[in-house]
Amino acid sequence: MMDIHKILEKLPHRYPMLLVDRVLEIEKNVRIRAVKNVTFNEPFFQGHFPGRPVMPGVMMLEALAQAAGILAFEGIGASTDEKMVYYFVGIDNARFKRPVEPGDQLILDVTIDRHRAGIYKFNAKGWVGDELAVEAQLMCTQRTVG
């Protein structure tokens, strides 16, 4: 389990772009299960959509990518800093199965499909209760800069 303080050590994201609230389970170099608590206070709900707030699909994918980033950083025993960056570089087969609304808890399930030369491919799913909300294959990379 990982609380918000540990998450902030692993990811460079901050409000309003930090989309992982807690890590429930992590199996190094294998899988992660994390939580995004969806609240009406999210800034994107003001315009998406007035009168019927729905979490944008790109934000669901970003939450999954951030969970994947925690899994990758944990696997190599690194934390984020100004020299280590983590980029979301690809999405395949993204499907949105259910709207995610304020009050929902989006459970982020991500497994590593493969890792070579600093590029990771992940299988990612987001659940609300026992309903699949989003799924995709994600590609991300870690790079040392400067």
Measured CA to CA, the distance from residue 113 to residue 134 in angstroms comes to 17
The neighbour count for residue 47, using CB atoms within 10 Å, is 9
Give me the DSSP letters along 52-107: S----HHHHHHHHHHHHHHHHHHHHT---BTTEEEEEEEEEEEEE-S---TT-EEE
Among the listed residues 5, 13, 48, 115, the single catalytic one is 48
- Tell me whether residue 48 is one of the annotated catalytic residues: yes
Measured CA to CA, the distance from residue 57 to residue 129 in angstroms comes to 18
Catalytic residues: 48
